[in-house]
Chain A
Amino acid sequence: NSIIGEKYRWPHTIPYVLEDSLEMNAKGIILNAFERYRLKTCIDFKPWAGEANYLSVFKGSGCWSSVGNRRVRKQDLSIGAGCDRIATVQHELLHALGFWHEQSRSDRDDYIRIIWDRIQPDKEHNFNTYDDQVSDSLNVPYDYTSVMHYSKTAFQNGTEPTIVTKISNFMDVIGQRMDFSEYDLLKLNQLYNCSSSLSFMDSCDFELENVCGMIQSSSDSADWQRVSWAPGGPGSDHSNMGRCTGSGFFMHFDSSSVSVGAIAILESRTLYPKRGFQCLQLFLYNSGSENDQLNIYIREYSAGSVNGTLTLVEEIKDIPTGSWQLYHVTLEVTSKFRVVFAGVRGPGASRGGLSMDDINLSETRCPHHVWHIRNFTQFIGSPNGILYSPPFYSSKGYAFQIHLTLSHLTNAGIYLHLISGANDDQLQWPCPWQQATMTLLDQNPDIRQRMSNQRSVTTDPLMTTDNGTYFWDRPSKVGAVAFFPNGTQFNRSMGYGTSAFITYQRLKSRDFIKGNDVYILLTMEDISHLNSTQMQPIPTSGNSDLCSDVKCENDGICVVRDGNAECRCPSWDDWWYSGQRCEKRGSTRDTIIIAVSSTAAVFALMLIVTLVSVYCTRNKYRAKGSSHGADLTLENRHAF
C-alpha cells in the first residue's frame, strides 16, 4: 500500500550512491537486489551523476528507510549489520519507492488480528494503520505473501504471536523474506506505470497453442510437437508436473521415429536485446537415445543479413534420461535475434525423444553452477540430511563446495566451504572478496513469478578465527581432511553461512521442490572492485570552479562534497593513496608496521614512567623511614 501523492515518486531510474561505510557483502547484495528490480519491474538504478535527488545507501545502525521520495537531495537508506539479505534490501527499497508495510493498510483488520496485550509496552505504534486518504492499496487484495508484511512474532513480549491471520493457513506465510510476491509486483508496477522491464525478454511454458510465437523451421527433417505426455516419457510436463489434468503441455521431438542425424528445429519469436548479455534457462527431458542432443543457435539479424546469421552457441549433450533437467545457456547478443532450438537424433536406440519446457530468457547473468539434488524430501529433518555439493571452481579459480544442512528441526542451513583445488598455488591467500551467492530455485515456470530464496556470503581476507588463523586461508593449511564419494582426499575449510537459510515450512511451499528435485544455483564472483569508493559526479556548473584549483595526485579525482572540493583517492586490495591530495601511499604492511612500532613505543614509555615512579617512591620512603623510625615501631606494636 503506497503513500498517496505524486511528489513522493522517484523517476524510473533512481540515482544511488553506495557509501564507503557499507560492508562488501552488502554492496554485492544491493547490486543483486537492483537486478531483481530490473527483471521484474520497470524500476532501474544508476550511479548518481549529480541529479537533484538520490538514494544514499550506507551502513547505519540497523535496516531502515524513509517512505517515498522525500526530495531532500540525499536520502539515506541504511543497510547495517545483519541487513545484508537480498529480500531485506528489496523491502527497504520498496519503502523508499513509496510503500508502507502490508499490515498497516486501512483494511488490514479484515484479514489479521493484532493481539495488543502481547505487544511490548510502547511498541503499539508499530501496528498503526493508515486511512485510505493517506495510503492506497491500489485495488489489490490483502497480501499475506508480501515481502512488506511482518511475521507473526513482531514486537512480541512473550512467545505468543502478535499478528494472527484470520485464515489460519497464512500464520506462517506472513513475514517471508525471499522475493517480491505477485501482488508486490502488481502494486509496484501499477504505481510506477510499468509495462515492461529492462531485463526480462520471454517466458514460455507452452500452455497456449500459439507456443509463444515460436515457429517450426522448414529446413529440417522433423518437427517438435506440442504434447501433454510422450509415449516414452515424460508422463507430464514440467510446468504443472501433471497436477492439472487436461493441461500441462511441452514440446517434444520424437527421435524414435526418425533416422540418425535427423534434426527438428524450433525458432523463438524475434527478440530485441538492450543489454547485450542474456541467460537462457530451460528444462529438458530425455527419453530417447543417450546420444540425442539439443543444439542452441542464435539467428542474429543485421543490415547485411536479412535472413539472419546462424551461430551455434551450445551443444547440450549427455542429457540424463528419465527426469527433467535444468540447463542454462549464456548468450551475448547485441542486435535483433531469435533463439533456435535444434533437436538432433544421435546414434543408439531410442524409445522416445527430447522434450523441453519452461523456457525463460532474460538479460541477466546465468548462475555459474547448478547443484541438482534428487529425491530431496527424504533428507528433510533426517539425521542423513547433511549434504555436500560436488566441488566447483569460481571464475578466479578458487575451489569450493556448498553444504546444506537439513538435519535440524525447523530450518535448513547453508554454508560455503573453500576446498583444496588445482589452482591453489597460483591463487591469492587468504582468499580476498569472493562473493558466493546461493539460491534455492523456486521452479515456477515464469521467471517473473519466482520467489527464490537467496543468501550471499563474501570472503574477507582479514577475517580471523578464534585461534588467530585467517578464516579464508588456503584450505590445505587451515582445512580438515575430507573425502569425495569416489574416495579422493581433499581439504575442506570451515563453512561460512547461515543455519536459518529457510524454514522447512517455506521450503515445502511454492515450487522449491518439484518432482522431488531441488536446484541450488551458485555464483562465486570477485567483488574486489566494490572496495573502492563509488565515483562521485563532477559537477557541471558553479561547483566545478572549486575543483579547478585542486590538483589530485596519483590519479585521484576531485569531487565537490558539501560545498568543498576534496580528492577521492584510488585504492587496491592491500594498498591505497591518502592525504588531502592523494599524495601519501599506504599499505596493509605499513599499517602493521605502524601498529607494532606504536605499541612498542607506548610500552617503552610506560616502562620508563614506571621505573622512574618506583625509583622516586623508594627514595621518598627511605627518607621517611629514617626520620620516623620510632613512630613506625609504635604503630606495629599497636597493631599486634
Chain B
Amino acid sequence: TPENFDVDGGLDQDIFDINEDFGLDLFEGDIRLDGAQNR
C-alpha cells in the first residue's frame, strides 16, 4: 500500500508554532496590533 501524505508533516502544530515557523513575532502569538495599541 502506498504511504499516506501527511499535511501536518507528523507534527501537531498550534497557531503559535505555525507563526513562529514563519518567523512572525506577533503580539500574543497571533494578534496584529494597530499603531495606537502598539504605543
Given known contacts A150-B16, A499-B10, A494 and B2 CB-to-CB distance under 8 angstroms: yes
Complex CA distance for A123 and B30, rounded to whole angstroms: 13
State whether A480 touches B1 (Cβ < 8 A). Answer: yes
Contact mask for chain A residues 493-517; partner B; CB cutoff 8 A; 1 contact, 0 none = 1111111100100000000000000
> Which B residues are in CB contact (< 8 Å) with A154?
14, 16, 29
- With known contacts A62-B24, A411-B12, A494-B4, A67–B31 Cβ distance under 8 A: yes
Comparing A75-83, A268-276, A287-295, the segment that makes contact with chain B is: A75-83
**Contact residues in A for B15 (Cβ distance below 8 Å):** 63, 83, 88, 91
Closest to B2 in A: A494
Residue of A nearest to B6 (CB): A499
Tell me whether A63 and B18 are in contact (CB under 8 A).
yes
Beta-carbon contacts under 8 Å, B4-31 to A? 4-8, 10-16, 18-22, 24, 26-31
Please measure, in the bound complex, the distance between the C-alpha atom of A2 and the C-alpha atom of B28, giving whole angstroms: 15
Shortest CB-to-CB span from B16 to chain A, Å, is 5
Chain A minimum-CB-distance residue to B16: A154
Cβ contact of B4, chosen from A63, A83, A495, cutoff 8 A = A495
Q: Which among A63, A479, A494 is the interface contact of B3 at CB below 8 angstroms?
A: A494
User: Interface of chain B, helix or strand or loop or mixed?
Assistant: loop
Q: For chain A residues 476-533, which have a beta carbon within 8 Å of chain B?
A: 479-480, 482, 492-500, 503
B contact residues around A155 at 8 Å (CB): 16, 20, 29
A496 to B22 alpha-carbon distance, docked (Å): 24
Cβ 8 A contact of A63, one of B7, B10, B30: B30
Interface residues on B, range: 20 to 34
Q: Please, which residues of chain B bring their CB within 8 A of the CB of A82?
A: 8, 13, 18, 21
| Count of chain A residues near B, Cβ 8 A | 50
Residues of A close to B28: CB separation below 8 A:
100-101, 104, 125-126, 128
Q: Judge if A368 is at the interface, Cβ distance under 8 Å.
A: no
* Chain A residue at minimal CB-CB distance from B27: A125
| Contact between A83 and B12, CB atoms less than 8 A apart | no
Which residues on the A side are within 8 Å of B31 (C-beta)?
Answer: 64-67, 95, 100
Q: Is A177 interfacial (CB 8 A cutoff)?
A: yes
Query: Please, which residues of chain B bring their CB within 8 A of the CB of A88?
Result: 15
Contact of A415 among B4, B19, B27 (CB under 8 A): B4
Judge whether B34 and A150 touch: CB under 8 Å: no
Most buried by A among B13, B30, B31, B33: B30
Q: Known contacts A88-B15, A155-B16; decide if A65 and B32 are in contact (CB<8 Å).
A: yes
Nearest neighbor of B28 in chain A, beta-carbon distance:
A126
Partner among A72, A91, A457 whose Cβ is within 8 Å of the Cβ of B7 = A457
A420 within 8 A of B: no
Given A64-B19, A72-B34, A175-B14, are A150 and B7 neighbors across the interface (CB < 8 Å)? no
A74 to chain B, nearest CB (A): 13
Interface centre among B11, B14, B26 (most CB of A within 10 A): B14
Asked if A61 and B22 sit within 8 Å, CB to CB, the answer is yes
Residues A498 and B7 in contact in the complex (CB < 8 Å), given A151-B14, A503-B12: yes
Contacts of A62 in B (CB 8 A): 18-19, 22, 24, 26, 30
Report the 4 A-B pairs with minimum CB-CB distance, sorted nearest first. Answer: A495-B4, A500-B12, A62-B19, A494-B2
Residues of B within 8 A of A (CB): 1-8, 10-16, 18-22, 24, 26-34
Binding site for B on A (CB under 8 A): 61-67, 70, 72, 76, 80-83, 88, 91-92, 95, 100-101, 104, 125-126, 128, 150-151, 153-155, 175, 177, 403, 411, 413, 415, 457, 471, 479-480, 482, 492-500, 503
Supplied contacts A64-B30, A496-B7, 4 more A-B pairs, CB within 8 Å: A62-B22, A63-B30, A80-B22, A154-B16
Cβ contacts A to B, 9 pairs, < 8 Å: A64-B31, A65-B30, A66-B34, A76-B32, A83-B18, A126-B16, A413-B6, A415-B5, A500-B13
